[in-house]
Amino acid sequence: MGTYKTSFISFLDNYVLSALAIVFLLVLSTQFELTFTFSPKTTSQLISSLTILGVILVVIILLEEPFFERMVRVYFVTDREIIKEEGIIRKNKISIPLQNVADVKMEKGVIGRIFNFGNVIVTGMKDTIKIKGVKNPENLYHLIKSKASKPLEKQE
């Protein structure tokens, strides 16, 4: 059984946006003399403090998303089925038996081709599982294709 999670490199756009937000904050703070204070006394100080807090919040959310994604969602490929499990408190589980796999696709963008990550989409008779941002998606694609094309061994 193989276990797969979204790779950190697939969140490269989050890291770039975080860096841009920090640069934006630095430019704003030098151009408009933004300062942070816990007890603003003027409207200008309030706007300045809220702007800084807002940008910091956006950066934190962008940087924490990969950890949250990996904690919440996991994929399994067994000899009998492909499983997607997600959730922390309330678990959702979708499985597609290998004999019901209708199609397997792989998606790789430009950045994905450079850093070797992408999505593998498994379509069954009823459900579809999108395995997001996995490293070496070609390997997983070929693994699922080969397992789905093999007839299941009979249980005695």
Would you write out the chain's pLDDT as a tens digit for each of its 156 residues?
Answer: 789 999 999 999 999 999 999 999 988 888 888 888 888 888 888 888 898 899 999 999 999 999 999 999 999 999 999 999 999 899 999 999 999 999 999 999 999 999 999 999 999 998 999 999 999 999 999 999 998 887 655 444
Residues pairing with 95 in the sheet: 83
Q: The pTM is what?
A: 0.79
> Mutual orientation of helices 43-72 and 12-31 as an angle, nearest 10°?
170
Distance, in Å, from the CA atom of 87 to the CA atom of 71, rounded to the nearest integer, reads 8
Neighbour tally for 104: CB within 10 Å: 19
User: Do 148 and 98 touch, CB atoms closer than 8 A?
Assistant: yes
Among residues 156, 106, 101, which one has the least CA distance to residue 136? 106
**Half-sphere exposure at residue 106, Cβ-oriented, CA atoms within 13 angstroms:** 18
